[in-house]
Structure 1
Amino acid sequence: MSAAIPAPRPGRGAGRLCAAAAALLLGPGCIIPIFPTARAERVPPITAPGFKLAADERRLWHEASELDTRARKSGAVLDDPALERYLVGIARRLAPPGALERLDVRVRVIESPALTAFITPDGAIFISMGLLSRLDNEAQLAMVLGHELTHAVNRHSLVEYRTYKGGVDTTAGMPFGLGHLGTQAAVTGYSRDLEAEADEQALGLLAAGGWDVREAPCPFEHLAAWVKDEKIEEPYTFATHPRLEERIESTRKLVRTRYAGRTSGDRGAERYRQAIREVILATARLDLSAGRFGPAERGADAYLLLRPRSAEALTVLADAARQQGDRDDRALELYRKAVALDPACPEAERGLGLALSRRNDRAGARAALRTYLKLAPAAVDRAWIEGELADLDRRKP
C-alpha cells in the first residue's frame, strides 16, 4: 500500500526487516526484469476447494514465517499487544470465507514514519506507524488491510515470482529500505493487473464488512499528498505499474458506479483514533529525530486534539521550533507550558534548559538541565548534558 519512498532513518531494525521482506516478496535473488515479461499463469485463490501449496510456493511461505520471527526480534516492530489485537480484529473481519482456515492472519506495526504496508504470502501484514498516523478512520484502515489480504488470498506473490524469476538480477546496489519495500510490496510491488484486482476486491471486502465505501480512495489520496509534501518522484520499478493518480480515479469510479447506492456506512473514526492515539505521538517523534519538522508538528498537533494537556506533544512542538533556529520565543513558550502541565516530563526540562542556554540564562538553564538529569538518571545523552552544564559554569555572566 506504500509509495516508493526512501524512509528517513527507519526505526531501529526497520532497514534489515525491509531488505528481507523485499527479497521474500519477489522470491530468492530479487529478480527484476528489464524488458517486458510474459505474465505467469494465474493460480486459484487459497479459498478454492482442494487448495494445496505448490512446491515453489512452499519456500515462499517458509521464508515468510522466518521473516515474521526475525521482525519481532529485530526491534523494528512496535511492541503494543492491544494495538495488534485491534488491527488483527479488523483484518479478520475483512477476510473472505475460508481464508482464515488457510492463512495465519496477523498484523505487525513497523516503527517508521514512512507510509507503507505489505503482506507476506502466509498472511503477516506489516503496516508502518507513519501510515497509521496518516489515516483518518477505521474504514480507511480496512481498505488498506483488505488490499493486502487480497494479495495473499489470490496468491499474487507466487504469480509475481513465477513471472519475474527469469529476469535480470538487479539486487546488487539496490537501495533496499522501507521505501523500496513499498515499491516491491504495495503501490508498485505488483504489476498493474494484480494491483487493480487487489483494489477492486478490497473495496468489496470493505462493503461486505459494513464500512463506508466512500472512504476507499482516501488512503491513496493520503499517499499522493505525502509524495507531494516530500517532493519525491515515484521511482516505479516496472513500467506497467499504475500511478497513484490512476488508482485514486479507478477507486472513485467504482464507488460512483458499482456502489452508487451505498450512501452510508461505518467509518469508525472514534474507535480508530483511540486505538492509534499513541502511535501518532511516536511517529511525530520519529519525524522530529529525522529533521522532518513539518510532519512532526502536524503529528504533535493531531495528538493534542486527542490529549490537549499533553506535555510530551507540546515538547515535540517546542523541540521542532528550537531546532529550526529562528523560533526561540515560540520554543520557550511551549517548553514552559509543558513544564507547567507536567513538572515530571524530562524532555520538557531538557528542552527548556537548552533553550535558556541559548539565551545565556545560565541560572535557568542549569536548573532545568539538572532537573532533567534527576528525572532521567539513565538518559542516553547524560554525558553530553553534563558537558553542557560544565560549559555553563565556564561562561561569563
Structure 2
Amino acid sequence: MHPRTFPLLRRLLPAASLALAAVTFSPGCQTNPATGELYLTALNQEKAVQIGEEAEPQFLSENGGVIPDAGIRDYVASIGNRLAAKSELPDLPWEFHVLDSVQINAFALPGGKIFMSRGLLERMTNEAQLAGVLGHEIGHVTADHVGQRMAQATAVTAAGAVLGAAGAATDKDWLKVLGVGTGVGGGVYLLRFSRGNETESDLLGVRYMDRLGYNPWGQVQVMEILKEASGGGSGNLLESFFATHPLPQDRIDDLEELIRDKYPDAKRSGDGFFPERFEQNVLRPLSRLPAPRQTTPPAAG
C-alpha cells in the first residue's frame, strides 16, 4: 500500500531538474528476481538502498515518528523480517516501522524501508492482516516498482528536456522527485502505482504470507477494513491512501480471483489468522498509549 495508480508524477520538478537527474540514474534492463520478468529500472540495488536510507529520517519526521511502544515496534518488525527472509531479496537491510499517525496507510521506500501507520494498525484484528500489509509493501520493493517508475519518468523527461549542466545533478534531485522534504506526507514518492503494480504486489505479498503459514484471506480482510473506513466518516484519514492506491473494491476483486486461482484450499475463516497473538501484542498495548503524535493526516499533495 504505498505510492500508487498513475500516469503522471503528481508534482514535477521543473523539466530541467528532472533531466539533470536522468544523467545520474541511467535506466537499464534487468530480470526481476521476484517476477521473473525483464524490465527497465533506474535503480541498482546499491542505489535503491542509498536513497531509502537518505529519505527515511525525513519521512519519519513528516509522519509522526515511530510509535512510543517498543513491544509493538519489535512485534511488527519481527513479522516483517520473517516475511522479508522469505522474499527474493532476503539480504536487503530491511527495516519496519509503525508511524505514530492517525492516517490509514502503509508505505515502502526503495531498498527495504517499510512503514505502516498506527491508524491502520488500530483497525486490524489479527496477525494475518498485518502480514498481508507488510508482505504487500515488501512486494513493492522486490518488484522494484519505484525503480520502474523512475526509469519511465527519466525517459519521458530526457526525451523533451535540455540536458545542459548535467554534471551538477545529485542524488538529492531524485529525493525531491520522490517528495521527501516537501511536506506532502503520505504522498512521499509523488508517484502512483498502476492497478497492475498493486495486483503484482498483492500476489507477491500473498506468496510471502503463505510461506509463513498465514491465511491469504487476511489480505482481503485488510481491503475490507479500508473499504469500510472509507464509508464511515474516515475520508480525511484515508486521503493519502486514495491518492496513491486503486479503490479497495478493485483490490478485493483482484485478490479474490488470485486466491481462488493459486490458493484454492485457503478458507475465509479458520486457521492461519492468529487473532490472539495480535490482541496480546498490539491491541492491548495500543489501548494504553496516549493519542498519536500526528493527529492530523498529512495532505495528499
2:119 equivalent in structure 1: 130
1:200 equivalent in structure 2: 203
Seen in structure 2, the aligned counterparts of structure 1 residues 280 and 30 have a Cα distance that, compared at 3 Å, is farther
Identity of aligned residues (%): 25
1:274 equivalent in structure 2: 280
1:387 equivalent in structure 2: none
Seen in structure 2, the aligned counterparts of structure 1 residues 88 and 47 have a Cα distance that, compared at 3 Å, is farther
Amino acid corresponding to residue 279 of structure 1 in structure 2: L
Amino acid corresponding to residue 185 of structure 2 in structure 1: L
Instruction: Report deviation, 1:150.
Output: 1.0
C-alpha distance in 2, partners of 1:82/1:255?
Answer: 32
Gaps of 5+ in 1: 5-21, 24-28, 32-39, 291-397
Q: How does 1:206-217 map to 2 (within 5 A)?
A: 206-217=209-220
2:165 equivalent in structure 1: none
Equivalent of residue 247 in structure 1, options 251, 261, 282: 251
1:265 equivalent in structure 2: 271
1:178 equivalent in structure 2: 185
C-alpha distance in 2, partners of 1:247/1:194?
Answer: 11
Contact residue 117 and residue 127 of structure 1 kept, 8 A: yes
| DSSP 3-state at the match of 2:263 | coil
Instruction: Report deviation, 1:219.
Output: 1.0
Seen in structure 2, the aligned counterparts of structure 1 residues 62 and 252 have a Cα distance that, compared at 3 Å, is same
C-alpha distance in 2, partners of 1:167/1:282?
Answer: 47
Spell out, residue by residue over 1:128-163, the C-alpha distance to the aligned partner (whole angstroms, 9 max, x if none).
100111111100000101001111112221111111
Q: How does 1:62-73 map to 2 (within 5 A)?
A: 62-70=50-58
Amino acid corresponding to residue 267 of structure 1 in structure 2: F
Instruction: Report deviation, 1:199.
Output: 0.7
Seen in structure 2, the aligned counterparts of structure 1 residues 256 and 282 have a Cα distance that, compared at 3 Å, is same
Equivalent of residue 106 in structure 2, options 110, 113, 117: 117
Instruction: Report deviation, 1:78.
Output: 2.2
Instruction: Report deviation, 1:167.
Output: 5.0
Which structure has the larger Rg?
1
Amino acid corresponding to residue 207 of structure 2 in structure 1: G
2:138 equivalent in structure 1: 149
1:256 maps onto 2:260 in alignment: yes
Contact residue 217 and residue 259 of structure 2 kept, 8 A: yes
Amino acid corresponding to residue 261 of structure 1 in structure 2: D
C-alpha distance in 2, partners of 1:183/1:281?
Answer: 35
Q: How does 1:5-154 map to 2 (within 5 A)?
A: 43-45=31-33, 58-70=46-58, 76-95=65-84, 96=86, 98-101=88-91, 103-154=92-143
Instruction: Report deviation, 1:258.
Output: 2.4
C-alpha distance in 2, partners of 1:222/1:30?
Answer: 38
| DSSP 3-state at the match of 2:114 | strand
Contact residue 72 and residue 285 of structure 2 kept, 8 A: no
| DSSP 3-state at the match of 1:108 | strand
Amino acid corresponding to residue 79 of structure 2 in structure 1: I
When normalised by structure 1's length, the TM-score is 0.53
C-alpha distance in 2, partners of 1:273/1:194?
Answer: 32
Spell out, residue by residue over 1:99-123, the C-alpha distance to the aligned partner (whole angstroms, 9 max, x if none).
222x111111111111111111111
C-alpha distance in 2, partners of 1:120/1:164?
Answer: 17
Amino acid corresponding to residue 253 of structure 2 in structure 1: E
Aligned-residue CA RMSD (Å): 4.0
1:394 equivalent in structure 2: none
Q: Which has the higher contact order (CA 8 A, sep 6+)?
A: 2
From the two aligned structures, give the one with the greater helix fraction. 1
Seen in structure 2, the aligned counterparts of structure 1 residues 262 and 2 have a Cα distance that, compared at 3 Å, is same
1:219 equivalent in structure 2: 222
Seen in structure 2, the aligned counterparts of structure 1 residues 167 and 60 have a Cα distance that, compared at 3 Å, is same
Gaps of 5+ in 2: 5-9, 12-16, 20-27, 158-173, 297-301
Instruction: Report deviation, 1:42.
Output: 6.7
Contact residue 116 and residue 182 of structure 1 kept, 8 A: no
Spell out, residue by residue over 1:210-257, the C-alpha distance to the aligned partner (whole angstroms, 9 max, x if none).
11222220111111222222346978668xx64321111111222333
C-alpha distance in 1, partners of 2:57/2:280?
Answer: 28
Contact residue 87 and residue 142 of structure 2 kept, 8 A: no
C-alpha distance in 2, partners of 1:30/1:226?
Answer: 37
C-alpha distance in 2, partners of 1:110/1:192?
Answer: 25
Seen in structure 2, the aligned counterparts of structure 1 residues 228 and 166 have a Cα distance that, compared at 3 Å, is farther
1:191 maps onto 2:194 in alignment: yes
Spell out, residue by residue over 1:235-289, the C-alpha distance to the aligned partner (whole angstroms, 9 max, x if none).
8668xx6432111111122233322212343211111122223334547x34996
When normalised by structure 2's length, the TM-score is 0.67
* Count of residue pairs brought into register by the alignment: 249
Spell out, residue by residue over 1:2-38, the C-alpha distance to the aligned partner (whole angstroms, 9 max, x if none).
699xxxxxxxxxxxxxxxxx99xxxxx789xxxxxxx
Contact residue 129 and residue 280 of structure 1 kept, 8 A: no
